[in-house]
Structure 1
């Protein structure tokens, strides 16, 4: 939990601390409780609450009887006072969501045009989707504070540039923040997809649920994001989380593979390639990634021995990667999600739990929680929108730094 400070020069920071406490208290919270949890004085809390009420970010939601004395006034979030757009760039589909302050999805649209198109064509189409999204939701456009974009890495988050994503060859060195901002008229932030997914768990699920965890992201590639004390660790360039680069044991691996890295043996495109190579699918049955992946999982679910062998092998490789992450980071909570996770989860998650729990390579024997994200397939898009709200509204220690200018 972030603590506030009573220094008079940091009122905006303290206001953010107060707002975060109110946002995470779904049943409401009193000023006295805010003061106790934040370390702020009663007067500082009252001043911050007054400004938040004036900005319509919170409301007074009646009183609550608590023993003797005057019942305290409860403060609650006003979810529909601000909104943010999240855009998830995937090689096969672009997902756009509009969320409110509580992280609820207000509207959703998908652009099925593949991103193999040049950015000069795709960016205006994405901006048009965003405009339609906001219009269809029938909200005041001035309440939308910006657009967050979740993209495959590597990215230059500081400058808003997509650098060289392997599955988006035409997008190399694309200044997406600048172009999409100009096309949409809204501020734009860029985030790596796995880190956006981890942020969604923090913003949407709330303070009481999880604070320190790893997020295993199964998209076109594999990512593993990390959150510590409700902060996503992005690395020095914003590209932390390349879980596909983890090397897993080479025993019992497909005969044809680019390497023993997790992304080359367990990512969706690798599983489809294995299925074709091992005669489980024909090339005609896998004309593209989505069709091949769906057919492979359909056959595995139906009990096809070859399909089941490929999928269970992927589960063993993922479990091996998770053990390495648990050992390295000493975490006990792993969340799974991403656009390709839900269909495969019933086939691999039970094995992953068993293998991680029983692994002789575990350095600690404490229980590790392993489960699917409750947010669903749109977790990266929701996380991208959460990034905007988090940047605008959450308390940041960096805002306390005094500029030398």
Structure 2
């Protein structure tokens, strides 16, 4: 998205985010006049904003640049150590934690089992301890930690920061996580649905203009979908947009937990795929204790040409492709990005099959090509997305900021 500032005096905070975002997107550094040209701000306004950002330690000067007649101009760059954010991803199988710096680089990460205590206070205490350990172990200045972003399975109430009743997590009912965790850690906390967090991460890390209209297919313990239209995250009225798990892809398929047959979010999820492999004699019941390893073994069998394994993962690819076609037809998007903790296990077999399965589907209406890609974000994309949620709140210019008072 092309973010530009305004020279009106009542929008200092908005202009600050405009300038900071422009600096972030040019890691090679920029002069103040170059930033002015990029943002449509006056050099005077940019100079004033840069002075404030330098004083705050968010940017730093890095040499001089000569760009024609006149004196050499100072180059400013983002100071990666000027701030940090913690990202937390809550999954039915585990909780992942990451610490990222202002540039988005991952400084450290950890993983724990998902708290099972019915008492919310015990859950908060356990998570706060893990966050404290991550910050202390990373040896960063805690005063530079901007806050904590949380990615949680939906449904959630984003404004209140409450996790409602996520599937496969029966003890997480009406947990006021945002306020409680903020009180326990002394840090600001933001909460988003996990699939929304993955889209925020993709937009944050993508080169300008390379990701605008896409769906993120999150392959974790369950299957989720995040959406971006015109470079903006689609959240919906309650912040729970993108739940595509109950798209019917096989009317004769297995019965979903919702009571219908052949829902994509049921027939493609890791545990159901592994259970089918066990029934077909490809894996043993012992493999159910480690679904990720079992999926990798199944993919290995498919790659070696084992017909039954090929059949299972071909069905997964076909089911995902049918869901993709529905989403592409509905939104007229041109990219689908795959990621999530279990995606790497089946990707070598499933990803190559998807483009043809989508392109040859007779239900596909869209006349343009649909690119199917993998997320390049390391570690847990939802945890990274949760951290960038906090960075995004710091960096990204929003028109609502124009309602702020004058500088």
Q: Could you state the TM-score of these two structures normalised by the residue count of structure 1?
A: 0.93
- The answer for the alignment partner of 2:273 in structure 1 is 271
Structure 2 Cα separation of the partners of residues 262 and 377 of structure 1: 25
Point out the more displaced range, 117-126 or 196-205. 117-126
- The answer for the alignment partner of 2:6 in structure 1 is 5
Q: How far 1:43 sits from its partner (Å)? A: 1.6
Q: How far 1:32 sits from its partner (Å)? A: 2.1
Point out the more displaced range, 262-271 or 136-145. 262-271
Structure 2 Cα separation of the partners of residues 43 and 160 of structure 1: 40
- The answer for the alignment partner of 2:57 in structure 1 is 56
- Conservation of the 8 A alpha-carbon contact between 2:115 and 2:126: no
Give the number of aligned pairs. 400
Secondary structure, aligned partner of 1:360: coil
Q: How far 1:62 sits from its partner (Å)? A: 1.8
- The answer for the alignment partner of 1:210 in structure 2 is 211
* Aligned with residue 373 of structure 2, among 368, 371, 374: 371
Q: How far 1:231 sits from its partner (Å)? A: 2.1
Alpha-carbon distance change, 260 to 194 in structure 1, aligned in 2, over 3 angstroms: same
Q: Deviations over 1:300-331 (max 9, x none)?
A: 34433222211110111111111122222111
- Conservation of the 8 A alpha-carbon contact between 2:299 and 2:348: no
- The answer for the alignment partner of 1:117 in structure 2 is 117
The answer to whether structure 1 residue 235 and structure 2 residue 236 are counterparts is: yes
Q: How far 1:270 sits from its partner (Å)? A: 2.4
Point out the more displaced range, 151-160 or 296-305. 296-305
* Aligned with residue 354 of structure 1, among 336, 339, 356: 356
Structure 2 Cα separation of the partners of residues 294 and 284 of structure 1: 14
Point out the more displaced range, 301-310 or 220-229. 301-310
- Conservation of the 8 A alpha-carbon contact between 1:146 and 1:186: yes
Secondary structure, aligned partner of 1:8: coil
Q: Deviations over 1:323-380 (max 9, x none)?
A: 1222221111221111111111111011101222233322233222211111034110
Point out the more displaced range, 319-328 or 294-303. 294-303
Q: Deviations over 1:145-203 (max 9, x none)?
A: 11111111111111111101011010011111122122222111111111111111112
Structure 2 Cα separation of the partners of residues 23 and 229 of structure 1: 21
Q: How far 1:279 sits from its partner (Å)? A: 4.3
- Conservation of the 8 A alpha-carbon contact between 1:92 and 1:115: no
- The answer for the alignment partner of 2:128 in structure 1 is 127
- Conservation of the 8 A alpha-carbon contact between 1:338 and 1:376: no
Structure 1 Cα separation of the partners of residues 72 and 287 of structure 2: 67
* Aligned with residue 399 of structure 1, among 395, 398, 401: 401
Alpha-carbon distance change, 175 to 256 in structure 1, aligned in 2, over 3 angstroms: closer
- The answer for the alignment partner of 1:389 in structure 2 is 391
Structure 1 Cα separation of the partners of residues 156 and 33 of structure 2: 43
Q: Deviations over 1:248-298 (max 9, x none)?
A: 243xx6456552221011121221233344444443331354454444334
- The answer for the alignment partner of 1:47 in structure 2 is 48
Alpha-carbon distance change, 401 to 246 in structure 1, aligned in 2, over 3 angstroms: farther
- Conservation of the 8 A alpha-carbon contact between 2:254 and 2:262: no
Structure 1 Cα separation of the partners of residues 230 and 109 of structure 2: 30
Point out the more displaced range, 394-403 or 315-324. 394-403
Alpha-carbon distance change, 205 to 157 in structure 1, aligned in 2, over 3 angstroms: same
Specify every segment of 5 or more residues in structure 2 that has no aligned partner in the other structure, as ranges.
none
Structure 2 Cα separation of the partners of residues 255 and 235 of structure 1: 30
Q: Could you state the TM-score of these two structures normalised by the residue count of structure 2?
A: 0.92
- Conservation of the 8 A alpha-carbon contact between 1:192 and 1:238: yes
Secondary structure, aligned partner of 2:171: helix
Specify every segment of 5 or more residues in structure 1 that has no aligned partner in the other structure, as ranges.
none
The answer to whether structure 1 residue 179 and structure 2 residue 194 are counterparts is: no
Secondary structure, aligned partner of 2:11: helix
- The answer for the alignment partner of 2:108 in structure 1 is 107
Alpha-carbon distance change, 272 to 140 in structure 1, aligned in 2, over 3 angstroms: same
Structure 1 Cα separation of the partners of residues 9 and 362 of structure 2: 55
- Conservation of the 8 A alpha-carbon contact between 1:222 and 1:263: yes
Q: How far 1:114 sits from its partner (Å)? A: 3.3
Q: How far 1:383 sits from its partner (Å)? A: 0.5
Structure 2 Cα separation of the partners of residues 402 and 137 of structure 1: 35
